[in-house]
A and B are shown apart, each in its own frame.
Chain A
Amino acid sequence: EAGVVQSPRYKIIEKKQPVAFWCNPISGHNTLYWYLQNLGQGPELLIRYENEEAVDDSQLPKDRFSAERLKGVDSTLKIQPAELGDSAVYLCASSPGQGPYNEQFFGPGTRLTVL
């Protein structure tokens, strides 16, 4: 069974440029999460999807960040425009359902560097 796929693995951009990250969850997983992991920190949730619906986006900085999961499968996280402080690892995770007993499976993440 394929795991959570993320691309690109690395991205370097100039500040004020837009950037997008893509995530393909494990087949059949209805719940998808985007996490932000700053250097030396644990991941922090940005947004959670149940199928195509964003059910928790309270920690997503909506002035510059957006996300979509149009068909309830793969998802894209976008930053526009990027700032120096956005340099971090962006992790995607998926689980079979939203209940707390459901294990979250993580992808390898995208490391973003903003110059």
Chain B
Amino acid sequence: AQSVTQLGSHVSVSEGALVLLRCNYSSSVPPYLFWYVQYPNQGLQLLLKYTSAATLVKGINGFEAEFKKSETSFHLTKPSAHMSDAAEYFCAVTFNFGNEKLTFGTGTRLTIIP
């Protein structure tokens, strides 16, 4: 079965520091990978997606992620954290592009230290 694992349920970084949120997937076929952000009491917003085109994907709010098949990873990064980045981040996977029944990771809560 398809799955994603997010390492670290809580990550804290200082404002202006690098943000790195880890996601590894389990698959025997090419996956389609997504990062979503959830602000308190709000829905999920798509940050970026990998759909087998470029391996380095740029998303909104300065985030990007790199698909590394050899490492089965799709880590999310941002060069400089902003206070407004504080939120819950979910990595998600599907193997059936066009039927976007996503399987989510357990989420990483990002805290920004002033």
Determine if chain A interacts with chain B.
no
Residues of A near any B CB (own CB < 8 A): none
